[in-house]
Structure formats: C-alpha cells, structure tokens
C-alpha cells in the first residue's frame, strides 16, 4: 500500500468511527456547529517541524476551533505581503483575530541549513542552474538569514509589528517552544508594544 492509499484507508476508518470529540452536529447529519472564527481570537504562526504536530497546540491550551494556525519552515516572514502576512491580515480583518503569537522552537532545522547546501542538493536532483540563479538572492536572504531561533523570533515579531497592514493595537508576541518538554519561554511580550 502506498502512502496515499494508507491515508485514504485511515480516513475511511476515521470518518466511519468519528470520535465523539469531533461530533458537534445539531439538526443536520454533517453540519458542524464549530465556527471558523477562533474562539480565543488568536493567530499562531509556528514552524512546520514534525515534533510540533499535536504537541504545540495542547501545550498552549489551544483546541480545535480556538485559533488560526499558520505554519511554514522556520516561521520566517520574507516580505510585507508574503503568504504568511496575507494569512495574518485575513485573520485580523476577517476572522476576528485580536492577538498574534509567533512561536519558534529550539533545534529548528532551518538554523542548520545553508543556501549553498540547498543549492548543491537541488543541482544533484536535476534542478536547472538557471532556475537557481533566479532565486539565489532570495534563497540566501531566507536560509542564511536564519542563524538562531531566538533571533528569528525577534526579527519576525518586529517584521509583523512594523507591517503597515497590522493595526498597532494588535499585540504581537514572540515565544520559544521546546519540542521535547513542551515548555514555552516568552521572548517578546507583545502587550508592551501596542499603541
């Protein structure tokens, strides 16, 4: 069985034995009452690290329906209107989000990556040098700019804080998560920087 087939089998089993915690149906068989608006009015932007799956949210007391969760490698922001910023903007203006949490983590894989190493792997997998040439500057800025998770959290918080589309009264917090113990350390207390 390939990966897709395994997932589909798992899905079949899941849907046919839907755990009670997911059942919020009222009058219609499939109409869940759970809202797309986050109950806790928060957005959390964290890393795609596998160790955070099913671990970061409970560690923050966040359950299904309570937060907007955004994830990308190294929880970086590359420009004032990149996909992450767009998600945060939608979260604030359309989905009732009132606070933003940037959550980096210890032992982040991006800290150990280099643009040169990535480029060598791309070339070895057949990526055309001209394609690499097109993104080389952005790749260097992104990958080589990530040196330490704490520094990255501070920079990402500052980038969101200074973004002209994010209202000044929205606290932008910066947290460091331990993927082993689940402990959180406050790097930036966003309440100290609201207007």
Residues forming the site for Zn ion (CB under 5 A):
47, 49, 108
User: Least distance to Zn ion from the beta carbon of 103, Å?
Assistant: 10
User: Least distance to Zn ion from the beta carbon of 150, Å?
Assistant: 13
- Give 8 or 48: the residue with its C-beta nearer to Zn ion: 48
For residue 48, give both structure tokens. 């795609």
By residue count, the chain amounts to 195
Going across the sheet that includes 172-177, the strands are 67-71, 42-46, 99-105, 172-177, 184-188
- DSSP at 192: G
Half-sphere exposure (Cβ direction) of 131: Cα atoms closer than 13 Å: 7
User: Least distance to Zn ion from the beta carbon of 15, Å?
Assistant: 31
User: ∠ CA 45-150-170 to the nearest 5 degrees?
Assistant: 45
User: Least distance to Zn ion from the beta carbon of 49, Å?
Assistant: 4
Task: Name the residue among 39, 50, 21, 179 with its Cα closest to residue 104.
Answer: 179
**Under 8 Å between Cβ of 102 and 170:** no
User: Least distance to Zn ion from the beta carbon of 110, Å?
Assistant: 6
- Give 92 or 175: the residue with its C-beta nearer to Zn ion: 175
- Give 49 or 99: the residue with its C-beta nearer to Zn ion: 49
- Give 49 or 66: the residue with its C-beta nearer to Zn ion: 49
- C-alpha gyration radius of the chain: 19
- Give 60 or 108: the residue with its C-beta nearer to Zn ion: 108
């Amino acid at each position: 069985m390939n990966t897709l087939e395994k997932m589909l089998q798992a899905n079949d089993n899941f849907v046919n034995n839907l755990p009670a915690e997911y059942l919020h149906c009222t009058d219609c068989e499939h109409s869940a009452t759970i809202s797309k608006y986050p109950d806790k009015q928060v957005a959390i932007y964290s890393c795609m690290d596998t160790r955070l799956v099913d671990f970061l949210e409970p560690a923050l007391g966040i359950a299904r329906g309570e937060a907007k969760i955004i994830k990308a490698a190294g929880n970086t922001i590359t420009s004032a209107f990149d996909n992450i910023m767009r998600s945060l903007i939608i979260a604030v203006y359309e989905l009732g989000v009132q606070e933003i949490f940037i959550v980096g983590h210890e032992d982040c894989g991006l800290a150990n990556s280099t643009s040169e190493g990535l480029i060598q792997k791309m070339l070895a997998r057949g990526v055309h040098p001209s394609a690499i040439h097109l993104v080389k500057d952005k790749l260097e800025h992104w990958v080589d700019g990530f040196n330490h998770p704490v520094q990255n959290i501070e920079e990402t918080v500052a980038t969101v804080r200074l973004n002209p589309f994010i209202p000044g009264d929205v606290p932008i917090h910066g947290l460091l998560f331990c993927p082993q113990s689940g402990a959180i350390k406050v790097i930036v207390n966003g309440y100290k920087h609201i207007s």
